[in-house]
Amino acid sequence: MKKRKFGLVLTSVLAASAILGACGAKDEEKPAKENENATSGENNKEEAFSVAMVTDVGGVDDKSFNQSAWEGVQAYGKEHGLEKGNGGFDYLQSKSDADYESNLNALLRRDFNLVYGIGYLMEDAMTAIAEENPDNKFAIIDAQVKADNVVSVMFKEQEGAFLAGVAAAKMSKSGKIGFVGGVDIPVINRFEAGFVEGAKAVNPDIEIQSEYTGAFDKADLGKITANSMYSSGVDVIFHAAGATGNGVFSEAKERKKKDPNANVWVIGVDADQYEEGKIDDKTNVTLTSMLKGVNTAVVDISNKAKNGEFPGGQTLTYGLAEDGVKLADSRGAIPADVQAVIDEYKEKIANGEIKVPEKVKK
């Protein structure tokens, strides 16, 4: 009887030990699983592909070129659930060309995976930084840098500007139109060449005034230049001058307010600048805008780089055929018959029937 009781006690103790052991094993598994989750979280962070950009002197809110690039960076960030700042997406603004290299270096120190240089003026700085940092990825807009760790993004501005020239010449009542450029560099030359070619295609006798202000960030120079052109009889101005072009809009709006019947128009650039020309709900001096898909290109290249398909060492060129340049919706400012002519030339350029020059023919 005593032996039996002892056996029962021993069995109970062994059972309890087994239960406690099992509980202990489960408790030991919990930290392991927590560690696994923590590791997984770290991996997710590592998988986040961060992107940043350096503006040229026009600034991120130039309502044109830099702003379009920044919109692309933000769109990429939103698509992948990133936040502005380290490990996500960001930008640094350049007040002068002396800031280009220091800003690029600053973003590298913050460990961004892909860094953009926005604009032709950053070519030298990007070339130097890319050479010094061969393990980092870069992209430059509107310039070509020959390096395996840099993708160069170019646009056929002349093709979109050709359509702007057609619109300007067809909408002009005075037979005089104008082009206001920023800095006299190849990319702006392409805008001018296309504009001139398109205008003359539909009106060989059109008078075209072209002026370069020498700056992308001087709205006052844009206003002075536009004032001179409008005063001489020009009634449509196409600008390719970044934030300097904001002054062209200011001058046009002032004139339209003084004389609501005046035929005064501005063709915007890079982004849809309809809002820039707005005077009130019924009056707007923006005829159309020549859109340049900088934002689209930024998103496309950022995703390629994130997916291990970074096109380093390549030059990617976007034209009418690639939907890289086009005219914005005119919101009724351009009548149907003129739009039909624009569409006809668009088709001819896209299919290669018309080759638009990159420089103004002398």
Q: Comparing 49-155 with 157-292+332-350, is the CATH topology the same?
A: yes
CATH number (2.60.40.10, 3.40.50.2300, 3.10.20.80, 1.20.1250.20) of 157-292+332-350 reads: 3.40.50.2300
CA-based nearest residue to 301, from 116, 157, 54? 116
HEC-encoded secondary structure of 151-165: EEEEECHHHHHHHHH
User: Could you state, in order of their start, the residue ranges of all structural domains in the chain?
Assistant: 49-155, 157-292+332-350
Q: What is the pLDDT of residue 362?
A: 77
Q: What is the pLDDT of residue 43?
A: 43
Tokens of 251: 């001058």
- The pLDDT tens digits for 143-181 are 999 999 999 999 999 999 999 999 999 999 999 999 999
N-terminal to C-terminal alpha carbon distance within the chain: 122
CA-based nearest residue to 272, from 256, 250, 294? 294
Q: Where is 102: in which H helix or E strand?
A: helix 100-109
Q: Position 11: which residue type?
A: T
| Mean pLDDT per 10-residue interval, the chain, length 362 residues | 39 41 43 42 62 94 91 98 98 96 98 97 97 98 97 98 98 98 97 98 98 96 98 98 96 98 96 96 97 95 97 96 94 97 98 97 82
Domain at 49-155: CATH architecture: 3-Layer(aba) Sandwich (3.40)
- The pLDDT tens digits for 258-307 are 999 999 999 999 999 999 999 999 999 999 999 999 999 999 999 999 99
Q: What is the pLDDT of residue 361?
A: 87
Q: What is the pLDDT of residue 47?
A: 74
Q: Measure the CA–CA gap between 226 and 224, rounded to whole angstroms.
A: 6
Q: What is the pLDDT of residue 63?
A: 85
